[in-house]
Structure 1
């Protein structure tokens, strides 16, 4: 059964993970204790042999071998090889879970598109969703040991109600050398086409939507089958396993305490229990055990997927959706906030602090703009000629932004800046008002004053 501890870590607190260290089921201790005890026993055996059974000359040879093994162990890139492998396995583990077919979307489409309150309509909906559940049961029998133990033969599938005897005969009469989990999906499509011809599915768009959801469901069944078929290359698994076992085989000899050649040196302690070596074994070997447990999550380990419970859940909710819930709607009525402009659900005493906290409106919502007109940007109606570079604003200073106007925008003066009125615009307005004399006067003044603009 899957080990869940989500509620225990719902809040980050002091020693939050420490309470999880005492659990046994699903723990690293349960996975690793046999290898750990074996490593300790072998280390103790070599230590006793060196201290009590070897002569002085043999100890000298053993010390040379131990130093060589210690140097050789550091040459194995264990962290890189093992870390990359475990990352690949974890990504594959989660992808396999997301590939488990769930009928939730399909059952909603069946309930919405296959009509009929009579026995024929009910039979069509229940049969369609049963075919979908049958396809998932067949593919899970192929990949999960728990499901295979529950349904060891096709007769058990018939007894469980996923398949009738006539359907079993049809299924077994189709000869194929490959897995036949896809047959119920073909039955589904044929039955849906028949329902369209009978008018139970009222238009082709509804039929297309129904078949699209079935194809998504079938694709997940296919992906689940292929994840079981195509494993991580065996050569990579062998490389990682050999690297870990070789590292600790060298550590068994290389981490032993040996007498130094030139007498006891500073820092050389005769540690009867090698704490750092044992911790290193616990971390690296535990890392390998994590990959070993989740590389195939359809077994019977503590953290493997609960496939049998998923089958029970899928069948129950899908039948409820297409049968008991079909056209079984509660009466529509006004909601509690019908006469309110701003809906605000109530809070309990435990969550009242959240209601007093202002909502997030954007990271720049509280940014204050400058009201100084000298620092505001000047808005011009039409682009003018480029401003010359003077001594007050040298070229380097303009490049670096020195002396440039502040980018702060004065919201107070922004609407007061207006474009100058051109003579053509003034004359046009005078003509529109019927004042021909004013229009002629404006034109004479414009021709006499060049390009200067004047206010009316």
Structure 2
């Protein structure tokens, strides 16, 4: 489940609100880098012990030459530029994937408003359209998310969950045999558009403009599903990911040697622990791990999108809008400010009075 902490950082007091978040483990940078850090320090101290207690004088001289060489040339690796740009691209792609996730709510509102009929036929039409829409996006999730794929490994599991009828599953199975190369996630949208056409012929949709609106929304929904599939198929070029990974690890392999303590080192603190070398490793490797965890937000990482929750929520809300709330609304009554036309000010609670606003000067 996505780690959320907005409520804890709503107000800054004292030394800051982010300090109390540093001790968290789940979704933290410590959880991502601890194994790499242990391996880094193990290799570092192995070389350190070898230099101080195992090598003879000639061996120490060669080791010291290697330390100087690595220390002088390690900065030729443009790590900050390569890694910074890579993480920036990953974060932009991560947010764009989230905003591309289609939600059936707007379409459900259109269906409820335009497909009329309180009888069983009208109810079946509205619910079936939304079931097909939810089935479409769930099929997409099974293709891009391991979590959802484990939940719906086959079309039979769609039937068991009520997203497909057995006859519909058989139609998709037959098409898969005839045209096995392409996924059939778009087929439920085609069925939904056919139901819209039938509803118009039966007079349950009262004008052609409403039909066009529904078909446009169905196509828009299918298009967003296609965008998610494209994000899954078209990755950031592998060559760039390889360049960044090689740059980071080659930089720190060089640093393991270049930042070793040697006898002519004027800083005695590094004799016991490489403080700033460890901090540098922590930040750069942490940066790389952030990119690795965000490059596919539909996986099993702590901060990945909660797609299984979306599957349940989509169907529940869709049925609620087109069935339970179809053409229903509270009784029409005069509002509290009927005689005043508009309120001078809405009331404040005792706790909220300190936050009472003053209008900006431009509006005075």
Could you state the TM-score of these two structures normalised by the residue count of structure 1? Answer: 0.77
Q: Is 2:210 the partner of 1:210? A: no
Deviation at 1:100, TM superposition (A): 1.1
In the alignment, which residue of structure 2 is the partner of 1:97? 98
After superposing on structure 2, the runs of 4+ consecutive aligned residues of structure 1 that deviate more than 3 Å are 267-270
Per-residue CA deviation, residues 285-332 of structure 1 (Å, 9 max, x unaligned), is 000000000100111111111000011111101100000101222110
Quick one: distance in 1 between partners of 2:296 and 2:32? 15
In the alignment, which residue of structure 2 is the partner of 1:314? 314
In the alignment, which residue of structure 2 is the partner of 1:257? 261
In the alignment, which residue of structure 1 is the partner of 2:182? 178
In the alignment, which residue of structure 1 is the partner of 2:358? 358
Q: Is 2:33 the partner of 1:29? A: no
Q: Secondary structure at the match of 2:203?
A: coil
Q: Secondary structure at the match of 1:22?
A: coil
Change (3 A) 1:306 1:358: same
In the alignment, which residue of structure 1 is the partner of 2:227? 223
Quick one: distance in 2 between partners of 1:342 and 1:220? 41
In the alignment, which residue of structure 2 is the partner of 1:190? 194
In the alignment, which residue of structure 2 is the partner of 1:7? 7
In the alignment, which residue of structure 2 is the partner of 1:329? 329
Give the length in aligned residue pairs.
359
Q: Secondary structure at the match of 2:209?
A: helix
Could you state the TM-score of these two structures normalised by the residue count of structure 2? Answer: 0.96
Quick one: distance in 2 between partners of 1:287 and 1:132? 38
Quick one: distance in 1 between partners of 2:278 and 2:301? 25
Aligned counterparts, 1:318-397, within 5 A: 318-343=318-343, 344-355=345-356, 357-362=357-362
In the alignment, which residue of structure 2 is the partner of 1:112? 113
Deviation at 1:270, TM superposition (A): 4.8
Quick one: distance in 2 between partners of 1:148 and 1:353? 51
Quick one: distance in 1 between partners of 2:321 and 2:24? 39
Contact map agreement 2:68 2:258 (CA 8 A) in 1: yes
Quick one: distance in 2 between partners of 1:249 and 1:122? 66
Quick one: distance in 2 between partners of 1:341 and 1:122? 39
In the alignment, which residue of structure 2 is the partner of 1:241? 245
Aligned counterparts, 1:148-163, within 5 A: 148-163=149-164
Change (3 A) 1:225 1:329: same
Q: Is 2:293 the partner of 1:293? A: yes
Per-residue CA deviation, residues 208-250 of structure 1 (Å, 9 max, x unaligned), is 1111111111111000000000000000000000000000000
Question: Is there any run of 5+ residues in structure 2 with no aligned partner, and where?
Answer: none
Per-residue CA deviation, residues 334-364 of structure 1 (Å, 9 max, x unaligned), is 0011011441221111111343x421252xx
RMSD over aligned Cα, in angstroms?
Answer: 1.3
Bigger relative contact order (CA 8 A; separation at least 6) = 2
Per-residue CA deviation, residues 346-386 of structure 1 (Å, 9 max, x unaligned), is 1111111343x421252xx67xxxxxxxxxxxxxxxxxxxx
Contact map agreement 2:67 2:259 (CA 8 A) in 1: yes
In the alignment, which residue of structure 2 is the partner of 1:132? 133
Quick one: distance in 2 between partners of 1:216 and 1:194? 20
In the alignment, which residue of structure 2 is the partner of 1:74? 75
Q: Secondary structure at the match of 1:142?
A: helix
Per-residue CA deviation, residues 86-118 of structure 1 (Å, 9 max, x unaligned), is 000011111111111100110000000000010
Change (3 A) 1:185 1:341: closer
Deviation at 1:73, TM superposition (A): 1.0
Quick one: distance in 2 between partners of 1:185 and 1:316? 19
Once structures 1 and 2 are overlaid, which stretch shifts more, 173-182 or 119-128?
Answer: 173-182
Quick one: distance in 2 between partners of 1:232 and 1:189? 35
Quick one: distance in 1 between partners of 2:158 and 2:359? 54
Contact map agreement 2:113 2:327 (CA 8 A) in 1: no
In the alignment, which residue of structure 1 is the partner of 2:147? 146
Aligned counterparts, 1:394-413, within 5 A: none
Quick one: distance in 2 between partners of 1:36 and 1:313? 40
Per-residue CA deviation, residues 369-428 of structure 1 (Å, 9 max, x unaligned), is xxxxxxxxxxxxxxxxxxxxxxxxxxxxxxxxxxxxxxxxxxxxxxxxxxxxxxxxxxxx
Change (3 A) 1:198 1:43: same
